[in-house]
Amino acid sequence: MLNRGRALALCFALAGTWVGAPGLATAQPTAEPTAADRENARGLLDLGDKKTAAKDYEAALKAYRAADAIMHVPTTGIEVGRTELKLGLLVEGRDTLLRVARIPQKPGESDAFARARADALALAEQVGARIPSLVVQVSGPPAGTPVTVTVDGAKLAPELVGLPRKVNPGEHVVAATAPGYGEQKAIVSVPEGAEVPVALELAVAAGGPLPAPDPKEPVPEPEPANGEGGGAYHPLLWVGVGLAGGGILVGGITGGIALKRARDLKTACPDEVCPPEQEDELATAKKIAAASTANFAIAGLGAVLAIIGGALPRSSAEPTTGEWRIAPAWSGDTAGVRVDF
């Protein structure tokens, strides 16, 4: 391995070659580092080495980043990337290492620069498999509702929701919200190399407005009004029900009147022989009794028609709406049923 002091000397000797080099993530110096700048960078690298030996990686990273900000060469950049990895910043560390590996080769560069570039690329490839990811799924709001998802406070683009998002190992706070819904949060522990699903179910906020349904979603069809088959019953069913109900009603009324008159005439007309003044009353009583019998016959016919109408196939047309009424009908001495639609 090349002596660290000799590598630094080569690094500083060739620093001017790298001024304005493309592909660097940080701001580039506008002029070649001065002797004071180079001396300051040497001291920062030494400080970083001491903090690394003491396992104070945060202080070491600060020193290495300051040195790299002065020199912007592979040998300073790789120290930044290595220390970021020690701190568990796998995403940032890999990005730094790839930035170092992309620094183009220059004529006459030192072997230390070439080795640093190659080591950075190899280390970046190894770290790639260690970086875990989160997959956030949000349920509750209907399709089309704008949902805001954040990971550690950083907002995700809508297109990234439901897809793997690379994160550093450790704990992360995932949150989601939508208009009219309360915010839901989850604290997730993510190990290296894992893909961890995070399911957040949003509930309607108390007192909040309900979101409008998605117009693209189909509207459920109403249940058929007349049973599983759908469609309207055959009109014959309703005619039969009307005749049966009316016949029973009027037959019962007329039958009751006929029985009352028969009881009244039984005393006055023994053996159905009535005096002249009772003959009209007897004839009327017989007509009412006959009407009662006829109405009960109509009720029986209506029952038959209702059974037949219920057995017939239903119509696919919409049933007509309206009102119908059954009432007794009288015309002189004749009793019957009137059905009004």
Contacts of 329 (CB under 8 A, 6+ apart): 250, 335, 336, 337, 338
Contacts of 6 (CB under 8 A, 6+ apart): 112
Report the C-alpha gap between 113 and 15 in whole angstroms.
Answer: 11
Report the C-alpha gap between 125 and 128 in whole angstroms.
Answer: 5
Report the C-alpha gap between 144 and 158 in whole angstroms.
Answer: 11
DSSP letters along 259-315, please?
HHHHHHHHHHSGGG---GGGHHHHHHHHHHHHHHHHHHHHHHHHHHHHHHHHHSPPB
Q: Which CATH architecture has domain 4-128?
A: Alpha Horseshoe (1.25)
Per-residue pLDDT of the chain (341 residues; tens, 9 = 90+): 344 543 444 344 444 434 333 334 444 445 788 999 999 999 999 999 999 999 999 999 999 999 999 999 999 999 999 999 999 999 999 999 999 999 988 888 889 999 999 999 999 999 999 999 999 999 999 988 999 999 999 999 999 999 999 999 999 999 999 999 999 999 999 999 999 999 999 999 876 555 555 556 665 665 554 444 556 677 777 776 777 777 687 767 877 776 777 777 666 666 666 666 666 776 777 777 777 787 778 878 778 777 887 777 766 554 444 455 555 555 555 555 555 55
Nearest to 18 by CA among 6, 8, 31: 31
Confirm if 92 and 63 have CB atoms less than 8 A apart: no
Strands 195-201, 133-139: pairing is parallel
Report the C-alpha gap between 261 and 257 in whole angstroms.
Answer: 6
Phi, psi of 202 (to 5 degrees): -90, 140
**Structural domain boundaries in the chain:** 4-128, 133-201, 235-340
In CATH terms, the fold of domain 133-201 is Immunoglobulin-like (2.60.40)
